[in-house]
Amino acid sequence: MSQEVPDEGRQELDGEGEAVVPVEPVLAEAKKPMYSVVMDMTGAGGHKALVHQLVVVSTLGEVAASTPSGKTDLGDMYKRLFEELQEGRQWVSFSGMLLVYQKYCLQVIESPPDMIREVAAAIARMNADGILGTTKILYSHDIPTPMFPAFEYRVLTTASHIEFKTTESADMVVAEYIATLSQLADFVSTHGPDLCTALDQVQQEAPHLLGTQGMLEYFTRVVELDSVTEFTDRLNMYLNVKMDDDVVWPHPQRLYPYD
């Protein structure tokens, strides 16, 4: 007795006995956007957005520098800012840390690239209102994945003020400090998902990763680093388009007797 083969197990054969590939799936694959094809080939999966990391060093304003409550209020102010920026935008998330020293603070902020302008503008307003003093941008760049699981702040009590002296260029000092922050992020990632607990453990187990106030003071005095005002002005600057005539020498001249 012959046994029927299910429809899904059958293959259509041509005149020479070769299997015929169905046309519909091939056409459907051809209609896929090139971006989706590249993502499938690289195994990237879904649509992944880059994360922009902003590293900022600031001197504290008079209120924050003189009272412990002022330092805590500064951290709460950042959290409220991020909550306001996330309102109505489910795709927006912020991560990073705020380390508040006795007279200085370090801000590492990770956000979608299209939100960095609003973050920088908010920091510039804090600077104009006297909440923050001299503010310098150490690092602004896209990174593939966030280095921190969430955003938290900590008021440091163990960081001593030691004068920072160096013979290296400012670029080298900044690069070495960014590498230290990467080591700090690795330390945090290995101590559980709770960022608050991890930052407390950094003070006890690896205080060298936190840097010193003297180094932060050095950054605020480096002329080559952009201030937050200069940074926001650059973000809001119009694109300067140059025509080919502007970069060619000698300048082209009209050779015809008419305009």
User: Percentage of the chain surpassing pLDDT 90?
Assistant: 29
Contact 135, 91 (CB under 8 A): no
Contact 188, 199 (CB under 8 A): yes
Contact 118, 34 (CB under 8 A): no
Lowest pLDDT segment from 98-112, 171-185, 241-255: 241-255
Nearest to 77 by CA among 122, 37, 35: 122
Please tell me the predicted confidence (pLDDT) of residue 35: 55
Tell me the residue length of the chain: 259
Rounded CA-CA distance 154/106 in Å is: 10
Please tell me the predicted confidence (pLDDT) of residue 259: 53
Beta-carbon-side half-sphere exposure of residue 57 (alpha carbons within 13 Å)? 23
Residue 49: pLDDT band (50, 70, 90) is low
Q: pLDDT of 106-160, one tens digit each? A: 999 999 888 888 999 999 999 998 899 999 999 998 888 888 888 999 888 765 6
- What is the pLDDT averaged over residues 10-15? 53
Question: Which pTM was predicted?
Answer: 0.71
Please tell me the predicted confidence (pLDDT) of residue 27: 46
Query: Please, which residues bridge with residue 136 across strands?
Result: 57, 227
C-alpha pair distances (Å), 191 with each of 107, 150, 184, 188, 195: 21, 14, 11, 5, 8
- What is the pLDDT averaged over residues 29-38? 56
Residue 13: pLDDT band (50, 70, 90) is low
Residue 39: pLDDT band (50, 70, 90) is low
Beta-carbon-side half-sphere exposure of residue 36 (alpha carbons within 13 Å)? 6
User: Percentage of the chain surpassing pLDDT 70?
Assistant: 71
Residue 47: pLDDT band (50, 70, 90) is very low
C-alpha pair distances (Å), 182 with each of 28, 59, 244: 44, 22, 43
- What is the pLDDT averaged over residues 209-224? 88
* pLDDT at residue 19 greater than cutoff 70: no
Report the interhelical angle of 228-235 vs 116-128 (nearest 10°). Answer: 140
Please tell me the predicted confidence (pLDDT) of residue 46: 46
Please tell me the predicted confidence (pLDDT) of residue 134: 92
**Selected residue with higher pLDDT from 212 and 19:** 212
**Selected residue with higher pLDDT from 205 and 251:** 205
Residue type, 22: P
